Structure 1
Amino acid sequence: MPRLSFITGGKKPKPILRTGTFRKPRRLQGQDYHTLIERCLRSKQLFHDEDFPADLSSIGSGTLLRKVPPNFEWKRPHELMKNPLFFTENVSRFDLHQGLTENCWFLAALASLTLNKDILTNVVPQNQSFQKNYAGIFHFKFWRFGEWVDVVVDDRLPVDENGKLLFVSCVKKNLFWGALLEKAYAKLCGSYEDMQIGQVSEALVDFTGGVNLTIKLAEAPPDLWQIMIRAANSGSLMGCQTRSGPEMVLENGLVAGHAYTVTGIRKVTSKSGSENLVRLRNPWGKIEWKGNWSDRSHKWDQLGFKERLLLRKTREDGEFWMSIEDFEAHFVELVICKLTPDLISHENGKQWTLSMQCGKWTPGSTAGGRMTYTDVYWKNPQYRLKIFHGDDMEKSTNSCDVLVSLLQKQNNKHRNQSPPLFIGLSIFKVPLDFQGNRSRLPQMFFLTHRPVNNKCVFINEREVTQDFRLLPGSYVIVPSTAEPDQECEFILRVFSRKHILEEQGENPNIVLCCKKIADKQDDKLWENIFTKYFEKHPEISVIQLQMLLNKVTWIKLCTKQASVKFSSDACKVIMAQLDMKTSGTLNIEEFRCLWKRLLSYQEIFQRRDKDRSGFLTLIDLQAAVQEKGITLNHQFYNLMLLRYGNSSLKINFENFVCLMLRMEINGEVFQNLSKDGKGIYLQESEWMLLTLYS
């Protein structure tokens, strides 16, 4: 799984920070599953989720609400049957049936998820039950715009007067993982209503954090069958969709405007020759294809008995076979979601490099629209892509496989109230006379050069993906909206064997001076300055760290004493705390972590240093530490002042920073290492690393 972000805590994480990792997902709305379940068990009360309450607001306010019976209720599984089960080992694609919500795209992706048990158990944590430690609370993990998010829900589900679930249900009436997973996803989208209408590709990415390759079947490549074989062999998830339009059953048994799951592929040998078959499933759990190789087709008579017995099923379960030719003729697109894009290369098993850049189109600044807006197109964000000679190069062309994904973020809490913009991307080869210039390519460049992909296609979908074969060299990727002055955040992801991706900006001009470093309006200015510095120096030493920090004028902390300066010893302490890879240097992400903490510490120090002496007393220090949510015994504060304070037992800003960093980061390390939050077990080498280099 790609692990693309960093660990954070706190009740209300800032939404603009992508902080949730695969192992340590961000808590949606600050709800921590383990804390909540412990609280419920201790109080002997079942969990009630106030952030996604059991009322109409969680259903929605549009067409879905009109389908819901007026006398529906919210009930827990224990109220519906004697022995409810959350999950079983033998879950399958046949378990789930679609309910009143028009979310076949979600169910098609979910059915695909059941084919890969490793991914399924990542999305659906297995240590949950209606028996052991039951407290009416469950949680699920999704990948959302560059980070993993843990979503908590209670188990109150909407049912009709007969106790039948209104939305997703299971064939086994006492199995509830699907209904609760749908509820968690509805919470992530805003409501059940916000799950109506979508693309199967969207849900596949949310389940995996992978990247989609979308193939328009009207323009299917000649090696489509080989691509599907490689996808199936590598554990990819696959889905497909019929032509858009009103959702209705056609004469051939397919449903128009509907999503299906690709559940298998098989090459068979019949009396008339070999044929390539695709197995599909309708998420309704019924209504099947009626053409060749359908359940009752005479084509099966051409196979040997054993093969026919193995493949043919005559029950009405929504699953059926069809030939690859019929598949291309009756379906619009095939979506293949992979954790790594090995499928676009015939050579499997080689490591791919993933790079991710987060950006934003800002009206009047970086939202230039498509290339036809020649006056402003060059203002779009630009990303320099350097392709190196790799072991996947095709010998005849010396080119490399590159997969580029552009993902836009919804601008509203409710998914359906934030329709996706038309977005696209273009890649330009950078000639030699521009390669040494790190500034943004000017307007004239785009007037005289054509993109590698010739024509940029703009699609109003959440993610646009395009694969290329590029020669080693320097390129610029320009993501854009179709129209100028449209605002939206986006993620650009690039996969290849060997490359570097970095944002293209103005020439670095490192002049580190600031009058009001803590002012919020200056945050972006300093982010740009540091980004440019790290373009020249990807890894900085203690000496460079000291230089950076001391170029800044911490004017709000300047007193009658000398201006705040960081000593070499202090910078060594800071380096040891933030150097997660133990290289003796900091990269830009580690420095960004430090910078955010420094701004936070400065604000706290400023509030507590009321006499502007440049020092905190014992009482001031207690208040400052507690402001960061850390509670310690009184004796520890005395020890801290003895260790970090001066002869008068007062602490200055430099030592306050060192102290706070050690407390915060060591506290986070403890939480990560502790299985129960009460203790940890370390090997001697681990203990030495934590104590000697910290």
Structure 2
Amino acid sequence: MPRLSFTSGGKKPKQILRTGTLRKPRKLLSQDYQTLLEKSLKNKQLFVDDAFPAELSSIGSGDLLRKLPPCVEWKRPQELVKNPQFFFHDASRFDLHQGLTENCWFLAALASVTFHKDIFTNVVPRNQSFDKNYAGIFHFRFWRFGEWVDVVVDDRLPVNKDGKLLFVSSSKKNLFWGPLLEKAYAKLCGSYEDLQIGQVSEALLDFTGGVNMTIKLEQAPVDLWQIMVRAAYSGSLMGCQTKAGGKEEERGGKLLGDFTVAKSPGSGSGYLLIPGFPISSLQVTCKSGTENLVRLRNPWGKIEWKGNWSDNSSKWDQLSLKERMLLRKTRENGEFWMSIEDFETQFVELVICKLTPDLMSHENGKEWTLSMQTGKWVAGSTAGGRMTYTDSYWKNPQYRLKILKGDNMEKYTNSCSVLVSLLQKQNHKHRNHSPPWFIGLSVFMVSQYQCIRRRLPQEFFLHSRPVNKKCVFINEREVTQDFHLLPGSYVIIPSTAEPDQECEFILRVFSRKHLLEEHGENPSPVLCCKKIAEKQDEQETVIARYFEKHPEINVSQLQMLLNKGSWTCAKQAPVKFSLDACKVIMAQLDVSASGTLNVIEFHNLWKRLQSYHEIFQRTDIDRSGFLNLSDLQAAVQEKGITLSHQFYNLIALRYGNSSLKINFENFVCLMLRMEINGGSHTLRRTLSLPPASRSSGHSSTSRYPTLYYRHRPPAVQRCLKT
């Protein structure tokens, strides 16, 4: 399993971000467990937590109060049972039962965590009991907003008049780790009522500090099963969400409730599924062929799937006796198998929680790096909203990301796998009083602004498109996105969907090798563009002085002057115009057939080239230095020229390379031909002829040689000649 090393961002971080680690977590409300324990033991008094009192205010103030019985009491476990136990070593993850709070998302994630002993021990510290050093105090650890937090609670639990727990309980009446853990989490979130309405991914994040990825199963990738196998192999936690129905309801775009009832395919019998299953995968060979199976566990046990590959399914008869004995369990224990196809049909989404450095085993493997930056969206200042708000988007926080070449890039040639996580912090003490904003992130490749350490100006975002072509905004606590980026410089823009929405956030980046730092304050578009403008002025000055000595220039001189321009289109490699391309350009502009250009003709050409360069950079999304068909269509349409798809294919054949992609040099030749010769009409009329022969008034035997057949594969040449 890969190791991860932690960095706080740039070379000189402004602040220490990680104030709470697993070994030394931050104390919630400055309550130190060991100090409070020793004080209670010394005074021979059971601990009373005034920070989370045994009152209705700790339960809530809304709908949950209406579910409570007339009489609510708070009692310690010793008042409820004779021999209370904190934890059994052979305790089952099916022991816990949901109470009045609609927090199945919390219990489902907790059931998943119990399958990972190391993670479970981090959340539920051992050496706590009702026997040795008992003082009515317990503590638990959660990952909150970039740090581990230690939460202290007393063991007074709300019960009805009969002594029955109102919230989470265990099937073993004397087992209390579950109810106490729920109380600690309620304290962290504000109240028991704040545990209502949630998703499995949120609790998994709080239990692990990992990075969540959600896959909508309606749009599941073709390699979903392989993704699940890799996730299981890497030790990731997984859970899934059922479709709405039964007791479930949808509020604010989030599925709630504890089960859904449906019919299994073709059988007519009912089955009951509960969201949040730990998952494992297996490939089996049947008489009818290979099938990919997924094993699911119902955290509450007993209710299972009744379709194909269920306990009593005839599908098992297609396996060998040995495989059936190993895999098939006919008892109602909450564990069952499904085919990957049924899994995609019966569930809404799959959540994969990838683990962070604290919980990652230190086995031999290649090192990964985690960088983390904290930030804040401030109304009127740094809360600029999404890209459609062109006047304010550039004001959002900007983070410079430099991708360094990794040691292992076997799958994606020359690219690096990068995972970016954006996590927002609740603005209120009570979790449900601070619903999450719709948030998202965009990543831009930086070209001419690479050397600038200050914030990028508004102009950059007006003329640039992000690497992730579609930025999805989700009203969830965390948004993550996978990228495969070439080594180079990028800028990450986290934003809310609307301007002036205030919130703190954490930006985390995982990759083999990278550097992450925040761009400087006090954005200044003038300063950012100053070096570029100075360079352009210098070039134009040189050209003006050259024309003072040479009123008319020939093709060779045109090539020399054009190559003085900074036509950078990819990887900072300047574009060089060939002599053949300059002859084609000369043919378009030399209306007098003199073979030369004067200063006015050249000046008009120079302005056109600058315009083409801006369009090329905006439409070359991956900064490869080439335009594919979709990029080319966007570029041509910017000039107000509309062509059918048939003509774009012909253009790619005429002006593209062997991969039908067009570089900047040929893009210039194409745009000049369309603009000067009358746009699409002339293009349709002349497309069958070589580019150099379609100049005004010249035949195919013109003194300007063709650019048409350069670097063409023989098959393409034969196609074009016909």
TM-score after normalising by structure 1: 0.68
* Residue of structure 1 in register with 2:140 after alignment: 140
Q: Deviations over 1:619-670 (max 9, x none)?
A: xxxxxxxxxxxxxxxxxxxxxxxxxxxxxxxxxxxxxxxxxxxxxxxxxxxx
* Residue of structure 2 in register with 1:349 after alignment: 365
* Residue of structure 1 in register with 2:172 after alignment: 172
- Choose the corresponding residue for 2:430, options 414, 425, 439: 414
Q: Distance in 1 between matches of 2:217 and 2:386?
A: 26
* Residue of structure 2 in register with 1:82 after alignment: 82
Residue 156 (str. 1) matches residue 156 (str. 2): yes
Q: Distance in 1 between matches of 2:228 and 2:279?
A: 11
Q: Distance in 2 between matches of 1:33 and 1:101?
A: 27
Q: Deviations over 1:28-72 (max 9, x none)?
A: 111111011111111111111111111211111222222222223
Q: Distance in 2 between matches of 1:294 and 1:487?
A: 49
* Residue of structure 2 in register with 1:41 after alignment: 41
Query: Is the Cα contact below 8 Å between 2:7 and 2:369 reproduced in 1?
Result: no
Q: Distance in 1 between matches of 2:126 and 2:158?
A: 24
In structure 2, do the counterparts of structure 1 residues 275 and 173 end up closer, same or farther at CA, with 3 Å as the change threshold?
A: farther
Q: Partner letter of residue 399 of structure 2?
A: Y
Query: Is the Cα contact below 8 Å between 1:260 and 1:280 reproduced in 2?
Result: no
Q: Distance in 2 between matches of 1:497 and 1:265?
A: 27
Q: Partner letter of residue 262 of structure 2?
A: E
In structure 2, do the counterparts of structure 1 residues 161 and 282 end up closer, same or farther at CA, with 3 Å as the change threshold?
A: farther
Residue 107 (str. 1) matches residue 118 (str. 2): no
Query: Is the Cα contact below 8 Å between 1:382 and 1:503 reproduced in 2?
Result: yes
Query: Is the Cα contact below 8 Å between 1:281 and 1:320 reproduced in 2?
Result: yes
SS of residue matched to 2:228: helix
* Deviates further, 128-137 or 233-242: 233-242
Q: Distance in 2 between matches of 1:442 and 1:26?
A: 38
In structure 2, do the counterparts of structure 1 residues 428 and 78 end up closer, same or farther at CA, with 3 Å as the change threshold?
A: same
* Residue of structure 2 in register with 1:457 after alignment: 472
Query: Is the Cα contact below 8 Å between 1:47 and 1:154 reproduced in 2?
Result: yes
Q: Deviations over 1:499-540 (max 9, x none)?
A: 00000124899xxxxxxxxxxxxxxxxxxxxxxxxxxxxxxx
Query: Is the Cα contact below 8 Å between 1:40 and 1:135 reproduced in 2?
Result: yes
* Residue of structure 1 in register with 2:348 after alignment: 332
SS of residue matched to 2:277: strand
SS of residue matched to 1:131: coil
* Residue of structure 1 in register with 2:217 after alignment: 217
In structure 2, do the counterparts of structure 1 residues 97 and 312 end up closer, same or farther at CA, with 3 Å as the change threshold?
A: farther
* Residue of structure 2 in register with 1:495 after alignment: 510
Q: Partner letter of residue 453 of structure 2?
A: R
* Residue of structure 1 in register with 2:381 after alignment: 365
Query: Is the Cα contact below 8 Å between 1:5 and 1:146 reproduced in 2?
Result: no
Q: Partner letter of residue 324 of structure 1?
A: I
* Residue of structure 2 in register with 1:206 after alignment: 206
Query: Is the Cα contact below 8 Å between 2:236 and 2:353 reproduced in 1?
Result: yes
In structure 2, do the counterparts of structure 1 residues 166 and 315 end up closer, same or farther at CA, with 3 Å as the change threshold?
A: farther
Query: Is the Cα contact below 8 Å between 1:91 and 1:114 reproduced in 2?
Result: no
Q: Partner letter of residue 149 of structure 2?
A: V
Q: Distance in 2 between matches of 1:305 and 1:412?
A: 58
* Residue of structure 2 in register with 1:296 after alignment: 312
Query: Is the Cα contact below 8 Å between 1:386 and 1:500 reproduced in 2?
Result: yes
* Residue of structure 2 in register with 1:22 after alignment: 22
- Choose the corresponding residue for 2:260, options 249, 252, 265: 249
Q: Partner letter of residue 384 of structure 2?
A: G
Query: Is the Cα contact below 8 Å between 1:5 and 1:21 reproduced in 2?
Result: no
Q: Distance in 1 between matches of 2:131 and 2:241?
A: 39
Query: Is the Cα contact below 8 Å between 2:442 and 2:466 reproduced in 1?
Result: yes
Q: Partner letter of residue 227 of structure 1?
A: I
Q: Distance in 1 between matches of 2:450 and 2:271?
A: 53
Q: Deviations over 1:566-612 (max 9, x none)?
A: xxxxxxxxxxxxxxxxxxxxxxxxxxxxxxxxxxxxxxxxxxxxxxx
- Choose the corresponding residue for 2:481, options 426, 448, 466: 466
Q: Deviations over 1:478-500 (max 9, x none)?
A: 00000000100000000000000
Alpha-carbon shift at residue 225 of structure 1 (Å): 1.5
Q: Partner letter of residue 353 of structure 1?
A: T
* Residue of structure 2 in register with 1:283 after alignment: 299
Query: Is the Cα contact below 8 Å between 2:444 and 2:490 reproduced in 1?
Result: yes
Q: Distance in 1 between matches of 2:401 and 2:474?
A: 23
Alpha-carbon shift at residue 395 of structure 1 (Å): 6.1
Q: Deviations over 1:76-111 (max 9, x none)?
A: 111121111111222332222222211111111111
Query: Is the Cα contact below 8 Å between 1:340 and 1:352 reproduced in 2?
Result: no
Q: Distance in 1 between matches of 2:184 and 2:497?
A: 33
Query: Is the Cα contact below 8 Å between 2:17 and 2:374 reproduced in 1?
Result: no
* Residue of structure 1 in register with 2:335 after alignment: 319
User: Which stretches in structure 2 are left out of the alignment for 5+ residues?
Assistant: 9-15, 250-256, 264-269, 358-362, 525-722
Alpha-carbon shift at residue 393 of structure 1 (Å): 1.8
Residue 307 (str. 1) matches residue 318 (str. 2): no
SS of residue matched to 1:435: coil
Q: Distance in 2 between matches of 1:383 and 1:254?
A: 49
Q: Partner letter of residue 404 of structure 1?
A: V
User: Which stretches in structure 1 are left out of the alignment for 5+ residues?
Assistant: 7-15, 342-346, 510-694
Q: Deviations over 1:311-367 (max 9, x none)?
A: 3333444332211111111212111112259xxxxx993211000000000000000
1:202-601 alignment, distance < 5 Å: 202-244=202-244, 246=249, 247=257, 249-252=260-263, 259-340=275-356, 349-394=365-410, 397-431=413-447, 433-506=448-521
How many residues align? The count is 494
Query: Is the Cα contact below 8 Å between 1:74 and 1:156 reproduced in 2?
Result: yes
Query: Is the Cα contact below 8 Å between 1:5 and 1:18 reproduced in 2?
Result: no
In structure 2, do the counterparts of structure 1 residues 507 and 48 end up closer, same or farther at CA, with 3 Å as the change threshold?
A: closer
Query: Is the Cα contact below 8 Å between 2:291 and 2:339 reproduced in 1?
Result: yes
Alpha-carbon shift at residue 242 of structure 1 (Å): 1.9
Q: Distance in 1 between matches of 2:381 and 2:107?
A: 40
SS of residue matched to 2:278: strand
SS of residue matched to 1:352: strand
Q: Distance in 2 between matches of 1:18 and 1:255?
A: 43
Q: Distance in 2 between matches of 1:200 and 1:310?
A: 30
Query: Is the Cα contact below 8 Å between 1:385 and 1:501 reproduced in 2?
Result: yes
Alpha-carbon shift at residue 218 of structure 1 (Å): 1.9
Q: Distance in 1 between matches of 2:272 and 2:508?
A: 34
More contact order relative to length (CA 8 Å, sep ≥ 6): 2
* Residue of structure 2 in register with 1:518 after alignment: none
TM-score after normalising by structure 2: 0.65
Quick one: percent identity of the two aligned structures?
77
Q: Partner letter of residue 309 of structure 1?
A: M
In structure 2, do the counterparts of structure 1 residues 192 and 456 end up closer, same or farther at CA, with 3 Å as the change threshold?
A: same
1:179-194 alignment, distance < 5 Å: 179-194=179-194
SS of residue matched to 2:276: strand
Query: Is the Cα contact below 8 Å between 1:212 and 1:337 reproduced in 2?
Result: yes
Query: Is the Cα contact below 8 Å between 1:20 and 1:149 reproduced in 2?
Result: yes
SS of residue matched to 2:262: coil
Query: Is the Cα contact below 8 Å between 1:438 and 1:506 reproduced in 2?
Result: no
SS of residue matched to 2:390: coil
Q: Partner letter of residue 137 of structure 1?
A: I
Query: Is the Cα contact below 8 Å between 1:262 and 1:278 reproduced in 2?
Result: no
* Residue of structure 2 in register with 1:93 after alignment: 93
Q: Deviations over 1:647-694 (max 9, x none)?
A: xxxxxxxxxxxxxxxxxxxxxxxxxxxxxxxxxxxxxxxxxxxxxxxx
Alpha-carbon shift at residue 175 of structure 1 (Å): 1.4
* Residue of structure 2 in register with 1:677 after alignment: none
Alpha-carbon shift at residue 198 of structure 1 (Å): 0.7
